[in-house]
Every structure is written in structure tokens, then in C-alpha cells.
Amino acid sequence: MAKKDAYQSLYVVTGNDVESFMLDCFKPRHDGYQIAVPMLYGAPGVGKSSLIAQIAERHGYAVLDVRLAQIQPEFVSGIQYVSDDKRSTVSLKPAIVDRVEVLRAETGKPVILLCDELTLAAADTLSAALEVLLDKRAAGFALPADTRIVAAGNRTTDTSSAMVLDPPVRSRMASVILETTPEEVAAYLTRILPASPLLTAVTSWLTGSNAKAHFSSNRMVGDEATFFTPRGLEQGLRLAAPYVTDLTDLQNNYAAALRMASSIGPVVWGQICSHAILLGTVKPASEVLSNPTANKAPGTTEGFIAQMGAIYRHVGGMLPGKARDKAVKAVADYLEHCAAGNKEMVRVWSTQITREVRALLCDTIKATRILDECGAPGSSLSEMAGEARR
């Protein structure tokens, strides 16, 4: 759900919202140009360019990612030379137009031109890029008619070198702030990375309560040298996963620590290690749900949260049908079994889960009654689950 943000009164959107927003912006006006240029603000590493690449792949576009902070103005404005009659200057076709045309010809697909790092671009480069953003032309040379343009950049609250765009520029774009959720990052990592014990620990941590503090609309938090971002997490996993076979001894794994902490910071790495130790005691969800009352309830709140996280990932991956309905009923039996021994443990878990998790795992009258009896704060859990399902 989109919500207001203090920065320039823009809306904050998640990855699920961005796709339909971008596609609406791409629709043609009466003159054939797209309705608006979507401008995605977001912290470094939040996943702006990778999200655009995923959307492009799903809808049949090729992507040309131009980092405006890293190019010379002539890439966009073209090289100027004096005309033969010495009365004027003429521009050669800019490289940016050539690149779009070549990519269009090679792929046979319309191109999304991503003007990235817009708020970090040098003044000359930004000035040249404005013609592209506003008129889909560069130095007078038109881009292919089916080209679609997207802009992205950081806010001044993300990095001190970012600048605020002038009002006339902002008024020609549809600007939002991109945020991502732990659940979206977990799903993305699971899709692109090979299965491994470390990936299991990380995705389990992402769907727990501790990860939420690291997904801020202002800045991904962490220590000063290396702060946490989804991009850094992917990088660390690619580097460290080959060195991890035993989750219970993760804190003593120097090779993994070196690679993960250098990518996401020691604070977050320490949290993942602590969670991995708990995860080592978690039983397979299928085993728990096959006989919910026969399994001993976890002895700690942290252990129960980790166990329920495993159950959520198991049930959430099931297709709708009798099997999932049976699994949801088993979840209710397991909650009742655990609440009989420790209502406070179940109550704490219920305050930390998202509305989507609650709707999936508490989709029975029995389960919502149990959670109500455990004293979860706020409105009726049964009403909240029903609202989320709608």
C-alpha cells in the first residue's frame, strides 16, 4: 500500500506497486509520447535498477542503463563541430541515440532507457539529459518512437552529494520513493541464487522481526563503514555461501564472516549468525504440521518465531487447494498446542508478523480465537485477517 513520505511529499511504494505505476506512465499521450517519465528515488542498493530490469523482462523490453554521474556530457549532447559555412555549430548524433538504436535492432525489442544517478549528474550532463527526459530527443536526434524512459536517483537524505532537481524538471516527471520489504528481498534472493544453508538462514532472518529495522525509507541502517542494503546482501551471499555448510558454527566461520560483514556490515551479520543458531534447532515444517500436537513446543520465544517462520515459508509456497487448507488447519492446531504451554510466547510472535503472514497462517476461526486469547494488541485479529484476505 502506498503511503506518504516527508521527502518532497512523495509517495513511498514497494516493488509490487512500481510495476503497474511504470506501465501506466508508459502509456502514450495524444502525441505518442509516454504520459510521464517515472522517477524512482531510493537509497543506494535498494534495488532500483534491478527492479526495472525485472519489469522489462516480464513485459518484453530491453534495458539500456545509463549512469549519468559516470559519463561525459557529449555522450548525451553529441560532439559539436563548426558547420562548413562557418556560421553555426552542428552536433554529431549522440552516442546515447546510437546505443538505443543498436540495442533495438539487436534484440528486436523496444528499449527502456534508464537515466540512472540523475541526482548525482554533473550540471553539463544533467542539462543535456533534460532534452532526453522531456522530449525523447538528444541534440535534436529523436529516439525510436517506442522507446520508454525511466529516471532514478538518490535523495539528499541518502547521500550528501545528491541534489534536489529544479521544480520545472520535477513537474514533468511522476516521482515516487522506492522502498522494498524483507519479504520481497527474500523472494528475489531465492529466485536468483542457488539453494544453500546460508541462503536458508538469510531468508529466514528476512522474514523474522529483526530484519524490518533495516528497511528504512530514509536510509538502510548499519555502521558507518558498511551499511546494509539488499544489493550488499546479494553480494555477500554470492561470496560467502560456498564457505558455509554448518549453520550452528556460523559465528566461528571466518571466511564467511569476512565476505558477509564486508558487504552488509558486522551488525547485520551478527544478527544473521544468531538467527542461524536458532534455525539449527528448527524442525522441518512438514514434520511439525504432519502431527502438530506431538511435537514439543520451542522452549524460547526466539525459537518459536524461527519455527513459525519456517512454517510460513512452507505453507506460503503451497498452491491453493485441499493440501494448503489442511496445512492451515494444522497451523491452528500447532498454535493451540504451543499457546497451552506459553501464551506470552505466541502473543509476542503475533505482534511481530505482517498482515499477509497473519492472513495466511491464521485463516481459521480457531487460529484467530487462539491469538485473541493470547492478548495480541490492536484490533481483532480475525477482522485483520479477513481484511488482508479481501
Residue range 62-121, pLDDT digits in tens: 999 999 999 998 998 888 766 666 677 777 889 999 999 999 999 999 999 999 999 999
Q: What is the pLDDT of residues 134-177, one digit of tens each?
A: 888 888 899 999 999 999 998 887 766 888 888 878 888 999 98
* pLDDT of the residue at 262: 92
**DSSP letter for each residue of 321-375:** SHHHHHHHHHHHHHHHHHHHH-HHHHHHHHHHS-HHHHHHHT-SHHHHHHHHHTT
| Separation CA 282–CA 87 (nearest Å) | 78
Whole-prediction pTM value?
0.67
Which CATH code for domain 3-178? 3.40.50.300
Q: Residue 362 is which amino acid? A: C
Mean pLDDT of the chain: 83
Residues of the chain with pLDDT > 70: what percent?
A: 87
pLDDT of 223 > 70? The answer is: no
Question: At 234, which helix (H) or strand (E)?
Answer: helix 230-240
Q: How far is CA 236 from CA 95, 261, 265, in A?
A: 35, 8, 10
| Separation CA 71–CA 76 (nearest Å) | 9
